[in-house]
Amino acid sequence: MGQTLERENQFVVDVLTTLRQEHFSPLGWWRFLGRSWEMSCRTAHDNPGLKRSWALVTVFMGVLAVAILLANFFFEGPGRTFYILPGLVFCVVWQQSDMFWHLGLNRSGQSGILLPTVGKANTLTWLRGLGASYLLARIIGGIGTPSELVLMVFLGGVATDILDGQVARLTKTQSKLGQIGDGEADFCLYLALSIILMQNNALPLWLGLAMLLRYCVPLVAALTSYFLFAQPVRFGSTIWGKYAGLAQCLYFLVLLAPPQFAPVVRVVNLPLLLVTLTLLFVAPLAQFVENVRESKG
């Protein structure tokens, strides 16, 4: 098993090195994507149980997406649902394709052994991604989103964000796939929330962009390391990153609070904003220091 993992890692390094040597040309990208897809298909073929698990999760997400569209049709009518449909289909197909593409990363964080199923923890993470997909589909379709609906999706996202890590630890199914999925789901959810809050004039443009930098900066750094230097991408978090995430989450809850909580919102808004901005500045620095320390180690 260790030899298999080493061969896969070497394969990835070789592909990335070839892409870099071809100066990221269109032909280089085509070969890179083709060989990556070939590797994903081989992983699925060699592990039918894992492939079947992915298919079941995909069907589950598809059923939920249809249920969301039907609920939207009932509450908002066919016109709005029609505008939401293309964006939601695209996001769900992309999400499940991304899971298939990275099935080879569904390995135990302790032993490095490929896990036999996608697992409950990853399913919870992808549920958060589905909620983010719905909000993004509304943005793509040019449909406004009321704060009550945003709050409901956000609370669901918070619940799955808490549960997926707990379930992964209890079932000993922590994996790189889960780490990547968690980061992607969080990025998409907070991206959608920031855009909608800016559209609803609840969040200034500069502040929304500053909050998105918490996810964009590590993403750009990881992609740079991955594509330019063919180095493994580190997705580990720090205690400062967790504090920043908690503060940002609380600030969004304050912005989405129902009108009856307005007196409380006026009192905590500014102090919480200052704390959040401070932590959003400190967290990337702490992550950078941690990555430098790991690379030297």
Each residue's pLDDT tens digit, 240-249: 878 888 899 9
pLDDT for position 18: 65
Compute the distance between CA of residue 97 and CA of residue 127 in angstroms, rounded to an integer.
15
Q: Taking 80 as the threshold, does the pLDDT of residue 10 lie above it?
A: no
Q: Which residues contact 66 (CB under 8 A, 6 or more apart)?
A: none
**Which amino acid appears at position 56 of this protein?**
L
pLDDT for position 1: 47
What is the distance of C-alpha 128 from the center of its chain? Answer: 8
- Residue with more model confidence, 157 or 228: 157
Each residue's pLDDT tens digit, 37-91: 888 888 899 999 999 999 999 999 999 999 999 999 999 999 999 999 999 999 9
Between the two ends of the chain, the Cα-to-Cα distance in Å is 25
210: phi then psi, degrees, rounded to nearest 5:
-65, -40
Q: Taking 50 as the threshold, does the pLDDT of residue 207 lie above it?
A: yes
pLDDT band at 25, cuts 50/70/90?
Answer: confident
133: phi then psi, degrees, rounded to nearest 5:
-60, -40
Residue whose C-alpha is closest to residue 91's, from 54, 137, 124, 55: 137
**Of 23-32, 131-140, 225-234, which one has max mean pLDDT?**
131-140
Q: Taking 50 as the threshold, does the pLDDT of residue 264 lie above it?
A: yes
What is the distance of C-alpha 120 from the center of its chain? Answer: 16
Compute the average pLDDT of residues 129-147: 95
pLDDT band at 159, cuts 50/70/90?
Answer: very high
- Provide the H-helix boundaries in 235-261: 239-255
Each residue's pLDDT tens digit, 96-119: 999 998 888 898 877 788 999 999
Compute the average pLDDT of residues 26-30: 77
Compute the average pLDDT of residues 215-229: 65
Burial of residue 227 (CB within 10 Å: 0-12, 13-18, 19+) is middle
pLDDT for position 2: 47
- Report the length, in residues, of the chain: 297
Q: Taking 90 as the threshold, does the pLDDT of residue 292 lie above it?
A: no
Burial of residue 45 (CB within 10 Å: 0-12, 13-18, 19+) is exposed
Which percentage of the chain shows pLDDT scores above 70? Answer: 82
Which percentage of the chain shows pLDDT scores above 90? Answer: 47
Compute the average pLDDT of residues 30-38: 80
